Amino acid sequence: MQIRLNGEPHALPDRVTIHALLDTLGVASERVAVEVNRRILTRSEFTVVTVKDGDEVEVVTFVGGG
Amino acid sequence: MRIADKELGSRLILGTGKYASFELMRSCHEISGAEMVTVAVRRVNLTDRSKETLLDYIDRDRFMLLPNTAACYTEEEAVRTARLGREAGLSSWVKLEVIGDEKTLFPDTEALVKATRTLVKEGFVVLPYTNDDVVVAKKLEDAGAAAVMPLGAPIGSGLGIQNPNNLLLIREAISVPMIVDAGVGTASDAAVAMELGADGVLMNTAIAEAKDPVKMADAMKRAVFAGRLAFEAGRMPRRLYASASSPIEGVVGSSTIS
């Protein structure tokens, strides 16, 4: 299946939880915010919400800025 | 200074952008005495998973993170970014930016006021980056902004305080803290901002692009301190003509002309 991840197509073998997705990407879940189809998830939802084919996922974090 | 429910021990707020290295940034933050730093909210770079990230260099027990909505050009983008920032940082403070022009990075004040209203209703502590227009400043305060942050000059321009009289007008008109944000280039600019009655100063480029950023951070700490002291001391009046500081009588060789 395929999702759109941070604006780019991303292939996934199966439906996975956000937590699992972040894990395979090597992203620490405590330092990010995640949107699935424009809805911002709370951190507690990461292990519960799964992504399905066609979902738009945004994973953001803090970077340097003024 | 006090903003919303938080007491800050420093009147200086620093940015985290444009530094040559995270290590340098950290040294500057430490010497500056600041207690709050701004951060931007961006997509995680999934291709370049370098081990070190910004947050590794910010001690969150010492510095409060203030997420910004930089590069947002609409109310919707800014509100969305603010919400993401809150979720990522688990704090509801936000430096709200709604940019109206790419070249000057001046704010779209119409959208800014609307976004402020929306976010305040959602429980955010909103610190809007705005222009030096007293009408807009009052609207932002009415919309519930916890502080108003007028620019001294365009972001990253280093031009200093371009319109000191406008800042005086804002200071007079609003009750929430006024934090001069943007345009500071060197220490005297920060001192001037404080002398005009600002409660604090927010800066990034002035330190990050100095030849010796650590030294400049130190200078800024002192400048903000000096400027605030001078403000509290109450300056002397300005005069058109001279007013001698030394007595005019008793000069050797002088005589009175009868």
On whether any CB of chain B is under 8 Å from the CB of A33, the answer is yes
pLDDT at B55: 93
On whether any CB of chain A is under 8 Å from the CB of B13, the answer is no
Residue A9 in domain? yes
Segment B210-229 shows an average pLDDT of 98
pLDDT over 90 (residue B256): no
ipTM score over 0.90, yes or no: yes
The residue in chain A having the minimum alpha-carbon distance to the alpha carbon of residue B15 is: A66
pLDDT over 80 (residue B257): no
On whether any CB of chain A is under 8 Å from the CB of B41, the answer is yes
Residues of chain B contacting residue A41, judged by C-beta atoms under 8 Å apart: 87
CATH superfamily for B2-233 is: Aldolase class I (3.20.20.70)
On whether any CB of chain B is under 8 Å from the CB of A43, the answer is yes
Residue A42 in domain? yes
Residue A37 in domain? yes
The residue in chain A having the minimum alpha-carbon distance to the alpha carbon of residue B155 is: A66
Segment B198-202 shows an average pLDDT of 98
Segment B196-225 shows an average pLDDT of 98
Residue A45 in domain? yes
Contact (CB, 8 A) for A34 and A40: yes
B95 in active site = yes
User: What total of structural domains would you count in chain A?
Assistant: 1
On whether any CB of chain B is under 8 Å from the CB of A11, the answer is no
Q: How many C-beta atoms lie closer than 10 Å to residue B83's C-beta?
A: 20
Q: What is the pLDDT of residues B84-124, one digit of tens each?
A: 999 998 889 999 999 999 999 999 999 999 999 999 999 99
Distance (Å) from the C-alpha of residue B108 to the closest C-alpha of chain A? 18
CATH code at position A42: 3.10.20.30
pLDDT at B10: 98
pLDDT at B118: 98
For residue A53, give its domain range. 2-60
Distance (Å) from the C-alpha of residue B16 to the closest C-alpha of chain A? 5
CB contact under 8 Å between B42 and A60, yes or no, is: yes
Segment A34-59 shows an average pLDDT of 95
Residue A25 in domain? yes
**Tokens 């002035």 sit at which residue?**
B206
Say how far apart CA B170 and CA B145 lie, in whole Å: 14
Distance (Å) from the C-alpha of residue B245 to the closest C-alpha of chain A? 45
pLDDT over 80 (residue B49): no
Length of chain B: 258
Active-site pick, B95, B114, B139, B221: B95
φ/ψ bin of A19: left (φ > 0), alpha (ψ from -120 to 50), beta (otherwise): alpha
The residue in chain A having the minimum alpha-carbon distance to the alpha carbon of residue B53 is: A63
Contact (CB, 8 A) for B17 and A64: yes
pLDDT over 80 (residue B178): yes
Residue A65 in domain? no
Say how far apart CA B191 and CA B228 lie, in whole Å: 7
**Residue ranges per domain, chain B?**
2-233
Contact (CB, 8 A) for B86 and B94: yes
Residue A66 in domain? no
The average confidence (pLDDT) of chain B is: 96
The residue in chain A having the minimum alpha-carbon distance to the alpha carbon of residue B37 is: A66
Q: End-to-end CA distance of chain A, in Å?
A: 39
CB contact under 8 Å between B17 and A25, yes or no, is: no
